[in-house]
Structure 1
Amino acid sequence: MPKADFFTSLGLFVVKDFFDLELCDKIRIESRDAVNNAASVLGKDGKYEVIEEIRKIKYSQVSEETINKVNSCLIAVKPKLEEHFKLELTDCETPQFLRYTKGDFYLPHSDSCNTDNAPQSVKNRQVSAVIFLSSESEELGEEYYGGGALTFYGLIKDPLWQKYGFSLNGEAGLLIAFRCEIWHEVEPIIFGERYTIVSWFF
């Protein structure tokens, strides 16, 4: 499975150790112990709804203090994202804290939508950001999970490669950012729990 540096060569933005392991542990434990609710997707009518055949994940209601800390870290990296993607960005959406348990997944999708009934906030999205709080591994342990690969499609423009998926080896502390129109999925979790933070810059 490709390491994070491989995705840099394909135009994605990668920062290893964006969060240190101590912070990852702290937020992961808070997410685990917080109230967890089923995450929704944008339906055909432009409204958010829970459709577990498409997205089976929980989001954690962490403290405002944690939300604000993560938001500050994301805003601090905005100038580098602007330089990397040659974009002018204004802000980012409130971070979401996601918890995947055994069997959870998210089918292939993009994070932007330009249909008439889509919320303006979704239309405005330009860059997606994912921060890993746990690591993909074959080992068993509280900080590890198996399966659950973040897989990207269409990274190579050659038609022969358009449907080929490149799966990222998730590492605690890693930030990866990509244009919102890129198709991607989270493959089913085999064991353990996968914790990530996601946000979208506009």
Structure 2
Amino acid sequence: MTQISNKIYCSDFLISFDIETKLLPNPYYDYPFLIIENFLDGNECYEINKKVKEDDDYQKAQIKIQKLITRAKINEKIRKTNIYSLNEKYLEIYTKRFLNYQPIIEEYFKLALTTSTNIQVLEYIKDSFYAMHSDDSSMIYKDNELIGFVPVAKQRKVSSVLFTTSTNKVASDNSFIGGELLFNFLFDKNGNEIKIEPKAGMMLVFLSNPYFTHEVLKVIKGRRISLVQWHNAIIN
């Protein structure tokens, strides 16, 4: 393992790869990702969850695949997720709140955010998941061995995930069992994979490049809801 922050290590093979979009934050930080607690309060999360539960207007998530040209398709063997739109009231609340935190995010990663994608409201219900992937690159395999990455979305420099439901031992309208976000190539000093347990109102911000390859583990019971966005940036 190779140390990339005070408390986090990455798989050694990443260092040997020629990763075109490689970017890492200050190695003297405790963590290479940023957690913003209480981005939304409990009532705001509850209202968003209620709206999603009542809404039957959604689409199945697609994945980017690398062929002669990059295109997207639905493949529920890789990703099983429903996508909703955020209603105008909470879109305004989210946008104002994000602008308040933007200077903190920019300082943490030493960049200047420019454009952002539309917010996707993602719903993972029982047996839903998202297999291992990088937000800006496709994974290249040879004889079932990972040999590198090829960029498919260079405009994604930063990923943000805002959770509005929490992982719990008991599932309810506002909690779920399973569904952790696992960083596949990041570890603690004891070699344990870094696994984020979602908490309603918490935002996780991380760089979109292959060092932060991740997956959403299968939801066993309940509804995992998150607001996801990708951001372009000028690197300082």
Higher strand share: 2
Q: For the Cα contact (< 8 Å) 1:134–1:195, is it kept in 2? A: yes
Aligned pairs for 1:55-134 (under 5 A) are: 55-113=79-137, 115=150, 118=152, 122-134=153-165
Structure-2 residue corresponding to 1:147: 178
Unpaired stretches in structure 1, ≥5 consecutive residues: 1-5
Aligned pairs for 1:1-202 (under 5 A) are: 9-34=30-55, 35-45=57-67, 46-113=70-137, 115=150, 118=152, 122-156=153-187, 161=191, 165-181=193-209, 182-202=212-232
Q: For the Cα contact (< 8 Å) 1:99–1:193, is it kept in 2? A: yes
User: Residue type of the partner of 1:134?
Assistant: T
**TM (normalized to structure 2)?**
0.74
Q: For the Cα contact (< 8 Å) 2:188–2:194, is it kept in 1? A: no
CA-atom RMSD in angstroms: 2.3
**TM (normalized to structure 1)?**
0.85
Q: Aligned residues, how many?
A: 190
Q: Which has the larger radius of gyration?
A: 2
User: Moved runs in structure 1, 4+ residues, more than 4 A?
Assistant: none
Unpaired stretches in structure 2, ≥5 consecutive residues: 1-6, 9-28, 138-148
